[in-house]
Amino acid sequence: MIKILKSLAIITAVVAVAGGGTYAALHDVKQVAGTSSSDPAMSYKIASVKVGAVSGFPMKFDNMVPGKEYTDDAHIQYTGTTAGDLYFGATWIGNGADFNGVLKIAIEKINGNGESIGWATGWVDPAALYENWTKLDSNINPGVISRYRVHVKVNENAGNTLQGLTAYNGVVIEAIQAGSNPQGSPKSNNGNNDQ
């Protein structure tokens, strides 16, 4: 009986070692995809922020009378692939008069019916828009068209020295990833990052 038990113990040990060795040696590998860039198993694409169509520019405010307010509307389409923020800035374009300290601009947000839904800015001197970005909207979803009404007025005390003169500004719209800070200043950017 002891011989039988020893024999069974040896057989059990051999089967256990053989079974364990066989189990550890089996494996399978399959290439899912990824043999080339046209057949990748995984691909990576960084989200984009992009200003799409902009309508309403150029804006032309003619024969302005001191103290009177003038308006025109602009629409900006955001075409990024992730939520973005929109910023507004201006650049000085030469060959015009210097209206610094005389002209004021304010930007109002409007809905599709032209009704006010708040202000992006209060009244500012255009020169302030050269140095600093002005946030128009936050967390805009891809494909959204944002609408704005630009208000312009000449100060009541403008006097006669500017009669018949014209000033010129460029407009720079910057889209950035939602919650980020704009880069540089409008005058340094000057729209050159458009891709």
Q: What is the pLDDT of residues 65-121, one digit of tens each?
A: 889 999 999 999 999 899 999 999 888 776 677 788 888 999 999 999 999 999 999
Q: Going edge to edge, which strands form the sheet with 103-110?
A: 51-55, 69-78, 145-154, 103-110, 116-119
* Banded pLDDT at 187 (limits 50, 70, 90): confident
Domains: count for the chain: 1
Q: Is 3 inside any structural domain?
A: no
DSSP letter, residue 18: H
Q: Is 39 inside any structural domain?
A: no
The CATH number covering residue 179 comes to 2.60.40
Q: Is 34 inside any structural domain?
A: no
The torsion of the CA quartet 37, 42, 46, 48, rounded to 10 degrees, works out to 80
Q: Is 162 inside any structural domain?
A: yes
The tens digit of pLDDT for each residue in 12-69 reads 444 444 555 545 567 666 666 556 666 666 766 666 778 888 888 888 898 888 899 9
The tens digit of pLDDT for each residue in 141-184 reads 999 999 999 999 988 888 788 888 888 888 889 999 999 988 88
Nearest residue to 191 (alpha-carbon basis) of 120, 125, 133: 133
Q: Is 18 inside any structural domain?
A: no
For residue 75, what pLDDT is reported? 93
Q: pTM score > 0.85 for this model?
A: no
Query: Structural domain of residue 165, as residue ranges?
Result: 51-189
Query: Does the pLDDT of residue 138 top 80, yes or no?
Result: yes
* Per-residue buried b or exposed e for 172-190, using 16+ beta carbons within 10 Å of the residue's own CB: bbbbbebeeebeebbbebe
Q: Is 73 inside any structural domain?
A: yes
Q: Is 171 inside any structural domain?
A: yes
For residue 190, what pLDDT is reported? 53
